[in-house]
Every structure is written in C-alpha cells, then in structure tokens.
Amino acid sequence: MSNDNNHNKIIRVENLTKTFESKKDSLHALKDVSFSIEKGDIYGIIGLSGAGKSTLVRCLNLLEKPTSGKVIVKDKDLLALSKEELRLERQKIGMIFQHFNLLAQRTVLDNICLPLEIRGIPKKERQAKAMELLKSVGLESKSGAYPSQLSGGQQQRVAIARVLANEPDILLCDEATSALDPQTTKTILDLLLDINRQLGITIVVITHEMRVVKEICKHVAVLDEGILQETGTVSEVFTNPRTHAAKRLIYMGLSEETEEEVAKHVG
Amino acid sequence: MWDKAMIDMLLEGIKDTLYMTLLSTFFGYVLGLPLGIALAVTDKEGIQPNAVIYRILDFIVNIVRSIPFLILLILVIPLTRALVGKSYGPTATIVPLTLAAAPFIGRMVESSLKEVDHGVIEAAISMGARTRTIITKVLIGESRTSLLVGVTIVLGTVLGYSAMAGVVGGGGLGDIAIRYGYYRYETEVMIVTLVIIVVLVQLLQWLGMLLSRKLDHRKK
Ligand SMILES: Nc1ncnc2c1ncn2[C@@H]1O[C@H](COP(=O)(O)OP(=O)(O)OP(=O)(O)O)[C@@H](O)[C@H]1O
Ligand SMILES: [Mg+2]
C-alpha cells in the first residue's frame, strides 16, 4: 500500500488477530483481519451473532487488546502508545453502546458533563456546553431527569450527546440501535447521519441489522467466524455479494425469506 | 432501683457506645475504604488487575476476619496501650474495634464496587478517563447507595462488637449489661440495656436505609 492511498485513511487495521484463551481451549474471535476506513465515512461491519463484530470494534479503541496485528488511528499505532497517550487518544474516539451505559445515579445533564469533568473543564463551562449538546439532540427538557426516567431512544440520545462532548473524530457504535424499536432506530440513525454530515465525524457501525447498513453506511465489511469475508461500498456488496457468508447475510436480511429460499439463492 | 444514678449510668452507657461505634466505624472506613477499593480494582475483573496485590490483600482480610473479636481485642492490647495509654475504657476499645471493622468494611466496599455495571465502566474508559477518575466518579458514584447500606450494616456490627468488649471493661452498654446481669444478677438492668442496644441498631439501620433510598435513582 502506498502512502498516497493511506493519507485519507483515518483507521487502518492490519493483520488483526484476537484469541481468547481459556483453560480448556482457545477461541479465535478474529483471524488476520485487515481493512481501512476513510475519513468522513460511515462504515458498517455486519455479521451473524458471534462473528466477532464487537471484538473487532472494541479493538479499535483498545477496550480489547489484540493478540497480534496493528490498529492505526490517525497515523498513530495505538498499540505503541503509552498508557497516558492512549488515554488522550481515546478522548477523540467516541463510543456508544447497545445498552447506552449511562450513569444511573447522575442526571442527564451530569452524564453529559462526565467527559468534560474527565478533561478538567470548569463546572460553569461544562454545564453550559452540556446543555447546548442536550439541545442538539432535542432533550433540553430532560436535563434534570435520571436515565431510568427516559425511554431507550432518549437514553441513546443522551449517550450521543455525551460522546459528542469530547468533539471526537471517530464514533464507534456497537449495536447502538439493537435495543430500540424500528421507529426509534430510524430517529437515531438520522441523528448519526446528521453528526456525520455536519461535524464530519467518521462513524463505524456494528450491527446485525441489514437495514441499518442500507440506511446510513457508505462502505461495509462482512465478518464471518472471525474472518473478514469482503468489503466494499454498500451498493456493491448488497447487489453483488461475492462470498457465501455475504450472500447468506444479505439475502436473509433483505427480505423476509425463509431459510430454504435463502438456501436457493446461495445455491 | 431506677433512681437518677441508674438512669445517668445508662445515658452514659449510650453515649459511650455511640462514641465507640461512630469513631471505630469512621477509622474503620479510613482503613477499609482504600482496602476495598484496592480489592475491587486489582481483582481479575477489575479496572487494574493485579493478581499479586489482590492475593496479598485478600489473605490479610481473611486472616483478620477469622480472628474472633475477643481474641483480637486481647491480642492488640500492646498496640492499644501504645496508642491510647491504657487498655480498658471506651477510647481504648476503639483500637480493636477499628481493626476488626476495617477488613469487614473492605469486603463490603469491594462487593459494593463490584456491583457497578461493567458497561458504564467501559464507557468511562472509552472516554479516556484516568483510573482515579473512574474510581471516584464511576465506581463510588454509581455504588453510593450500596455503600451507604454497607455503612449501616457496619454500624450495627460494630455496635454489637462494642458490647462484646464489655466483658473486658470496654465501657458502654455492653459493659453495663455484663456488670449488672452477669456479676450482680440484676437481670432487669441487663434486659433494659439490651433493649437499648437493639433500639440503637434498629435506628441506625432505619436511618441508613432511608438515606440510601432517597439517594437511589436507579428506579423511578
Ligand atoms: N471476553 C471474552 N472471553 C472469551 N470469549 C469471548 C469474549 N468476548 C467475546 N468472546 C467470543 O468471541 C466470539 C466473538 O464475539 P463477539 O462478541 O465479538 O461477537 P459479535 O459478532 O459481536 O456477536 P453479537 O452479534 O452476538 O454481539 C464469540 O464466540 C464470543 O463467545
Ligand atoms: Mg456484539
């Protein structure tokens, strides 16, 4: 790969392997995965349950430490960073989760303040900023509420406002809409699209829902049993899936076909 | 029998018991809170796993906790003398009470902190939080109701232990109960003392639960 091709890549994953060792055996969750993501892209990673999607995305901010391989974010090899450097780098790689992961004992506003507290921003300033962010996700009336008083969609909005507080360059989403109903999913996806367009944040979306990918992603990677099967633009991969794994996933996801019909397609 | 002297003595006993209980619990937390945090953090599921430190602390806690309180009290008499100047009376009793409470508190704190949802901790890590920040803002902040329930349990336990110290002249209500009930066969005084102890424990419990429920926002 020449440098010309690399300079607009915000994330590069090279020969990534992750093996979970247990006493009895070792589980190869990721096998020699390589791909890269362009700055400003919305990149989907799809695969069946257990394919290794979460493991992969968690390697992108080193929540999970790869067994081997490289994760290069903004030209920095994350595995070569010191603890302190990694900590600062993580502030620019936001992450949202399937179960929102808000602090239950803090109000909505104080939840959004957390990343600002971590960065040592003075109280007045951070509350003003948090309020502004809360407005941008349309929840200013809920500033004093606790997460338990919000719906799932509202909680995910708060989580998005919280992640934006650090003005990240990258946003990792691990099944961010999987706990939500279709209608709410749509509003969250629209919000993610807005964020991508207006703030230029590169978004990585992990999902097992094909419609999420079709709705917002430009590029997509298909992961199956820890192996990256194929990558490409969403239209390429969805209209002309080349691998068995991709065909199975896409034909199953596109329509409400039964297993047998899928089998016919896949041949 | 229920003259002013008796009532004064009981009031004095209540005062001494509360004095021992509160101060021992306070000093117990001075030792036990960092201990519990260290246990939770260095556990293999913790935010800074360290098998060596965990095993050492775990071992110390288990050892101290398995020493019966009365034996601990006698064992630490030299230390108590060195710190307080004498080995009997309420102030002296604070030393063994603190030492008995600390590992117990360490375990309570450890288990409270381990209740915190791992996803929330990961969210904080992904924001680039320091370990120190995660401990104060996430682990302690999120488990504060459980920690408070822990405080009430500790208060009750320490109060019970303080009564035990009465056997060796530790002062407080336990001392009175022993002196009157055991040595002088004045069962009535002993029963009244016991009732006061039970009421005190209930009161502390009730107060703690009330406070922790008020502070809990996990449910509507
Ligand atoms: N901490 C862990 N220890 C051991 N094995 C793990 C661990 N985390 C994940 N695995 C295993 O790695 C494989 C991939 O898991 P992963 O969670 O990445 O899948 P996924 O594609 O996200 O699935 P899902 O759609 O169900 O979330 C699975 O077989 C899983 O059991
Ligand atoms: Mg997953």
- A149 interfaces chain B, CB cutoff of 8 Å: yes
Tokens, residue A136? 């941008």
- B125 interfaces chain A, CB cutoff of 8 Å: yes
Neighbours of A222 (CB within 10 A): 27
- In the numeric block, the tokens 């047998």 are attached to A260
Tokens, residue B199? 């009421």
Taking contacts as CB-CB distances below 8 angstroms, the residues of chain B near A146 are 217
What is the percent of chain B where pLDDT is above 70?
Answer: 99
Give B215 or A5, the one with higher predicted confidence.
B215
Atom of ligand 1 nearest to the CA of A47: 21
Tell which one of A19, A20, A26 to mutate to probe ligand 1, the residue whose CB is within 8 A of the most ligand atoms. Answer: A20
Distance CA B64, CA A49 (A): 47
Q: In Å, how far is B121's CA from the nearest CA of chain A?
A: 8
pLDDT band at A257 (very low <50, low <70, confident <90, very high): very low
Domain ranges of chain B: 4-219
The pLDDT of residue A1 is above 50: no
Q: What are phi and psi of A41, to 5 degrees?
A: -80, 160
pLDDT score, position A200: 95
Q: How many residues does chain B have?
A: 220
Distance CA A55, CA B186 (A): 70
pLDDT score, position B199: 94
pLDDT score, position B187: 86
Which of B113, B117, B120, B127 to mutate to probe the A interface, most A CBs <10 Å?
A: B127
pLDDT band at B179 (very low <50, low <70, confident <90, very high): confident
Q: How many residues does chain A have?
A: 267
What is the percent of chain A where pLDDT is above 70?
Answer: 92
pLDDT band at B183 (very low <50, low <70, confident <90, very high): confident
pLDDT band at B78 (very low <50, low <70, confident <90, very high): very high
- B220 interfaces chain A, CB cutoff of 8 Å: yes
- For chain B, the first-to-last Cα distance in angstroms comes to 53
Taking contacts as CB-CB distances below 8 angstroms, the residues of chain A near B217 are 104-106, 146-148
CB-based neighbours (< 5 A) of ligand 2, an ion: A 54
- On whether the CB atoms of residues A186 and A139 are closer than 8 A, the answer is no
Q: Which ligand is nearest to the CA of A26?
A: 1
Q: Does domain B4-219 have CATH number 1.10.10.350?
A: no
Residue A233, beta-bridge partner list? A219
pLDDT score, position A2: 47
Ordered structural domains, chain A, with CATH = 3-92+170-180+192-234 (3.40.50.300), 104-167 (no CATH)
As for the ipTM of the complex, it is 0.90
- On whether the CB atoms of residues A206 and A220 are closer than 8 A, the answer is no
Q: What is the CA radius of gyration of chain A?
A: 19
Taking contacts as CB-CB distances below 8 angstroms, the residues of chain B near A149 are 220
**Ligand 1 atom 14: residue of nearest CA:** A52
B98-139 confidence digits (pLDDT tens): 999 999 999 999 999 999 999 999 999 999 999 999 999 999
Q: Which residues contact A113 (CB under 8 A, 6 or more apart)?
A: A126, A127, A130, A165
3-state helix/strand/coil string of chain B: CCCHHHHHHHHHHHHHHHHHHHHHHHHHHHHHHHHHHHHHHHCCCCCCCCHHHHHHHHHHHHHHHHCCHHHHHHHCHHHHHHHHCCCCCHHHHHHHHHHHHHHHHHHHHHHHHHCCCHHHHHHHHHCCCCHHHHHHHHHHHHCHHHHHHHHHHHHHHHHHHHHHHHHHCCCHHHHHHHHHHHHCCCHHHHHHHHHHHHHHHHHHHHHHHHHHHHHCCCCC
Average pLDDT of every residue of chain B: 93
Nearest residue to B97 via CA among B79, B113, B82: B79
Taking contacts as CB-CB distances below 8 angstroms, the residues of chain B near A163 are 127
The CA-based angle B141-B147-B150, given to 5 degrees, is 180
